[in-house]
Amino acid sequence: MSMRTPMASVLGLGTAKDGTADWWGQRVSAVALILLGLWFAVSIANLDNLEHASAVGFIAKPLNTVLLSLFCVTLAYHSCLGVQVVVEDYVHEPWIKVTSLMASRFAHVFVAIVSVYAILKIGLGA
């Protein structure tokens, strides 16, 4: 016995079957952010001082450059997924929803690119 209406069976309507990828992406990125966030907090707490030269010296270390870049990219990805869920759930006007999702995606990609560029510029000593 099926719980679907006859019309839904004919039209093939039902679950979209594509939400699990975003759900898993958000969970995996959350775990990565916990680990990277703990690394970042401990690293900043262990700095001698919070002056510009000390921060540049911290970022210039190769391991810190890579981990900080991963942290920024993962943070942007996780934030993008979260904002997408909020927009999809609470924005009801179709054109506002599409515009908001596009603006959010562009903003998150822009922030990720700019942050990685800045980190690499310091890390590579350019």
- CATH number for the domain spanning 47: value is 1.20.1300.10
DSSP string over 59-121: HHSHHHHHHHHHHHHHHHHHHHHHHHHHHHHH--SHHHHHHHHHHHHHHHHHHHHHHHHHHHH
Residue 1 lies in a domain: no
**pTM of the shown model:** 0.82
Residue 61 lies in a domain: yes
Residue 2 lies in a domain: no
Residue 9 lies in a domain: no
* 8 pLDDT above the threshold of 70: no
Tokens for 71?
């942290």
Question: Which residue, 43, 105, 114, is CA-closest to 72?
Answer: 114
Summarised one tens digit per residue, pLDDT across range 13-41 is 555 556 688 889 999 999 999 999 999 99
Predicted confidence at residue 120, as pLDDT, reads 96
Taking the C-alpha atoms of residue 78 and residue 97, their distance in angstroms, rounded to an integer, is 19
Three-state DSSP string of 105-121: HHHHHHHHHHHHHHHHH
Q: Can you give the residue range of the structural domain that contains 99?
A: 19-123
Summarised one tens digit per residue, pLDDT across range 64-78 is 999 999 999 999 999
* 122 pLDDT above the threshold of 70: yes
The number of domains in the chain is 1
Residue 13 lies in a domain: no
Residue 7 lies in a domain: no
Q: SS3 for 16?
A: coil
Residue 109 lies in a domain: yes
